[in-house]
Each structure stands twice: as structure tokens, then as C-alpha cells.
Amino acid sequence: MRALVRSLLAGGLLAMAACGPAVDLSKGLQLLDVTTGWFDAGLVNGQNKLVPTISFRLKNVSDQTLVTLQVNVLFRRVAENEEWGSGFITAAGSKGLAPGATTERLIIKSQLGYTGTETRQEMLRNSHFVDAKAEVSAKYGSTQWMHLADYPVARQLITQ
């Protein structure tokens, strides 16, 4: 029985050592090629729909592999504290994002946005249009969510 307990403890210590120290994602991840804008979400009930969108790549600048790397983006209207929409994506699965590696382009769109009968370009120029911002957070494994950056959503139309 003692041998079993020792081997379980040794295995647990070995597993903990293999994970390495925790990575502060605010320093261990870089956001690259960030683009924001308003995605043309098509027609909804006969009206044009635009939703705030952000796209970027992530680079692991830490010395640890980031397993099960996830990204969450909260979209808020400027000058409002309430969440307006959000999007979530797994950036790297169980194999993780190795040190020095960069993800493919990640695209996160809000499910909420604006609808109107105007053309999409006219909607962006409307005097009642309220700008938005994207708040990017990430986590890996069982760590807590870490805020990475905020980006204003540009008043530009994104069609892809």
C-alpha cells in the first residue's frame, strides 16, 4: 500500500513539474494583426444587420506550452458598462500553443448588433450610431481569465 501511495505522489509531483510555472498571459501572449469593424451579418427580418467583430492572431512569447488556450471577447457600447455581446473561441486545443508559435487568424463576432433599412454604409454614418469596443481576455488550462487588451471597433464594413 505504501508503494502505491509513493508512486501516486511521485507521479503527481512529476505531473506538476512538467506543467512548469504559471504563465501571466498579459505578458506571455501577443496579439498580432488586430483588425476590428462591423461584419455584414446579412438580412434579418428584411433589415440589414451589422455586428461588431475583431480578428487577430496570438503569439506565445512565454517559455511554456499553453494547453487548451481559450479567448473570450466582450463587446460593449462605448460609455456603457453593460455587456452588449460576446464571442468565445478555442485558440489551441489539447496539443497547446508552443513557445514562439502563432495561431491562425482568429475571428470573433458578437451575436448582437444593429439592424436597419439603410444601406450598410449609411448605417455606419448614421448620427445615432453608437461605437463599440472589444475587450479581449484569455485563459489556458485551468487558469483564471486574464484581461489582455481593449480595442475600439472601427467604423468599417467587414464582409468576410
**Can you give the three-state secondary structure of 35-103, one letter per residue?**
EEEEEEEEEECCEEEEEEEEEEEEEECCCCCECCEEEEEEEEECCCCCCCEEEEEEEECCCCECCCCEC
| Global pTM value | 0.84
Query: Does the pLDDT at position 8 exceed 60?
Result: no
Calculate ∠ Cα 43-48-50, nearest 5°. 105
The answer to the question of residue 10 being in a domain is no
Residues of the domain holding 73:
21-158
Instruction: Determine, yes or no, domain membership for 1.
Output: no
Q: How many domains does the chain have?
A: 1
**8 in a domain, yes or no?**
no
Residues 32-65: tens digit of each pLDDT:
999 999 999 999 999 999 999 999 999 999 999 9
Farthest-apart Cα atoms in the chain, separation? 75
Q: Please enumerate, as own/partner, the contacts of 10-15 that have beta carbons within 8 Å and a separation of 24 or more.
A: none
Cell digits of residue 130: 453608437
CATH number, residue 77: 2.60.40.10
Q: Is the pLDDT of residue 103 over 90?
A: yes
- Do 106 and 55 meet the contact criterion of CB atoms below 8 Å apart? yes
Query: Would 84 be classed as within a structural domain?
Result: yes
